[in-house]
Each structure stands twice: as C-alpha cells, then as structure tokens.
Amino acid sequence: MAVLVYAENWDGRFKKSSFELVSYASRVAGMLNTTTTVLSLGNVEKSELEKLGRFGANKIINGVGENLDIFDSQAFCRVISDIAVKEAATVVVLSNNNTGKALAPRISVRLKAGIGAGVSKLPISINPFTVYKRAFSGNAFSHLTIRTDTRIITLAQNSFELIEKNAGATIEEVAIQLEGAKTRVKEVQKQSGKILLTDADIVVSGGRGMKSPDNWGPLVQLAELLGGATACSRPVSDEGWRGHEEHTGQTGKIIAPDLYIAIGISGATQHLAGVSSSKYIVAINNDKGAPIFEAAQFGIVGDAVKVLPKLVEAVKEIRA
Ligand SMILES: Cc1cc2nc3c(=O)[nH]c(=O)nc-3n(C[C@H](O)[C@H](O)[C@H](O)COP(=O)(O)OP(=O)(O)OC[C@H]3O[C@@H](n4cnc5c(N)ncnc54)[C@H](O)[C@@H]3O)c2cc1C
C-alpha cells in the first residue's frame, strides 16, 4: 500500500508545487501508516529526481519513454492509473492545477475512486477519510468524506508548506509506452520571452483604478524587474486595455502565485475567485475601505499612478 503522488515537471524541472505535493502526501502516508511513492513522467535528470526525496518520498518512479514531454490527459491517465494499481495506492495526490484537473476525474473513473478536488489541508480524519476544501470562492469550507478504498486528491496550490524529510528514497526507472491517446499533438509552440501567467510565481495585476492603458508602463516594468507575469481584472480586458489572456477571476484564469500584487483592483468576489489561493497578496488602492485589503496581507493606500513609479525605483535600488 502507498500514497502515490504524480509530480509534474516543466521542461525537466520540478517546481515548488511538486515538492508541496510530496510533503503533503508524505504526511498523509504517515497518517495512514504507509509509504509515499512519487511518479515522474518524462525526461528528468537524476539530480532533479533526487530533490523529490528531500520531502519525504520513499520511492521515486521515473517513467521514461517517447512523447512523455507532451501532456496528453487520456494517455497519462492510463499510465498513472496503472501505476496506482501496481503500487496498491490507497490515495493518489495530484496538483489542483490545469494538469491535475484534467487527470483527476479521469483517474477517478478508471479506478472507481472518490475524488476530493481543491483540498487545502491534511485530512481531518482517516476513518472515515474526510478532507477539507474551500467552497464559494473561499467564503466557506466543506468537509468531504470519501468512502471508496482508493481516494483521489487534488491539492490546492500554495495551501501546504514544504516539509523537509529525507526518507532515503529509492529511484526506479520504468519504461512507459503511451497508449490510448485519441489525439496526436503535432506541434507545440511555446510562448517565448514572456512568463506564462499560470506558471508565474509573481504576478503584477492592474484594475480599473489604473485609469488608462497609458499608465501600464510602470506596472509592466515592475513585473519584469520581479521576474513575474502581468494580469488584470475583467473590466480592464473588456475595455481592451489589456488582452483577455491576462484576465484573472471566476471567468478568467485561476492562479496561485507566491505573490500577487493587485493595483487599482477593488477585490470583487469574482476577481478573488481567481487569485485568493496566492500565498501573499499585496494591494495598492486609494480607497482604504476597498475589499481587496481584506484579502491582502500587505497594502499601500495611495494613488497607483504615483505609487507605482516609486515602487519601480525602490526595486531597482534593491536589485542594484
Ligand atoms: C458573472 C460575473 C463574473 C465576473 N468575473 C470576473 C472575473 O473573472 N474577474 C474580474 O476581475 N471580475 C469579474 N467580474 C466583475 C467583478 O464583479 C468586478 O466588477 C470587477 O472585478 C471590478 O474590477 P476592478 O476592481 O478593476 O474595477 P473597480 O471595481 O472599478 O475597482 C477599481 C478600484 O480601483 C481603486 N482606484 C481608483 N482609482 C485609483 C487610483 N488612482 N489608485 C489606486 N486605486 C484606485 C478604487 O478604489 C477601486 O477599488 C465578474 C462579474 C460577474 C457578474
């Protein structure tokens, strides 16, 4: 028996979120008195795989084979489900990111396993197996009891701390043949020169309080200086100030960066639905009663147009 984690890699590297998953799974394994197996698929160097071992993995399965660097939810689902059966996994842990959301329901059907999606804490009990998840854009929470022998969990990003624990992981290489793909990816064109919003650890975002698209220069500059991506509220993209690919919220992208800087954004529920899982929210708003300050850990009350250039200068100074 084991707790199985699918650790996604990005061009052969694991992000912090993968280590969070392993830390979480290792704690769940402790509660169930079992071990943690981590599955990685694709071309990942041994030194990178070893990093998974620092967070409590007992066994790392390195799945190698053709086309594993191109994500295919149907084919990957088959592989992860087969490994879950082989490892007698009682819990399968995935990230609640786009990949995890595409895989989890498919694996759930294949394994006839109950699913807890967007879980943000350790199970509150293991018998019955009950997990905690946020509901209604974080305004409420629910306890969900999963009654099947195998349980699928997607862990909300940034909801669990990294816990270093060297469990002396072994690395086992397994040849993977992707089968069951009903689609074939012929070409992948990656956006270059720009950090993808959904991948970014730091996001600098502007709302209607920015007043005009002409004021975006310092916001973009701040994002560049911090190595982050830019985002916006929906009215900003509706107005055509910024492209719709930047719009975050209930009807836009759902992100969970380490740092979300909300500038001239009121903090409407629909906006927060897409950003409330950020580890830290910093708000800049000239209205100290704006709801965004309730979601933010840090804030500056002031005129965005005046504050932003000063912030840019301060970051430049620190970096120099
Ligand atoms: C079904 C539905 C779905 C929606 N989905 C989304 C969604 O996905 N994403 C989303 O963002 N919205 C969404 N909305 C819209 C949402 O309800 C809000 O209207 C929107 O988020 C407000 O955007 P905003 O904060 O940029 O603008 P505003 O609400 O106009 O707020 C502007 C803020 O800027 C501040 N401000 C003004 N001037 C300055 C200044 N000079 N310096 C600093 N601060 C200043 C103001 O105090 C205010 O707090 C949705 C609405 C509905 C009904």
Both structure tokens of 236 = 């900003």
pLDDT recorded at residue 183: 80
> Would strands 151-155 and 89-95 be described as parallel, antiparallel, or unpaired?
parallel
pLDDT recorded at residue 121: 94
- 173 Cβ partners below 8 Å, 6+ apart? 62, 64
- The DSSP code for 63 is E
> Would strands 140-146 and 129-135 be described as parallel, antiparallel, or unpaired?
antiparallel
Cβ(246)–Cβ(237) below 8 Å: yes
For residue 181, report the distance from its CA to the centre of ligand 1, in Å. Answer: 42
User: Residue 234, SS3?
Assistant: helix
Cβ(184)–Cβ(76) below 8 Å: no
**Residue 96, burial from CB neighbour count under 10 angstroms (0-12, 13-18, 19+):** buried
pLDDT recorded at residue 192: 67
For residue 118, report the distance from its CA to the centre of ligand 1, in Å. Answer: 25
Q: Which stretches of the chain drop beneath a pLDDT of 70?
A: 137, 191-193
Both structure tokens of 134 = 């946020």
Which residues form the pocket of ligand 1, taking CB atoms under 6 Å from any ligand atom? Answer: 207-209, 233-236, 247, 249-252, 264-266, 268, 270-271, 274, 284-287, 290, 303-305
pTM given for the model: 0.80
Residue closest to 59 by CA, chosen among 103, 89, 15: 89
Query: How confident is the model over 70-104, as pLDDT tens digits?
Result: 889 999 999 999 999 999 999 999 999 889 999 99
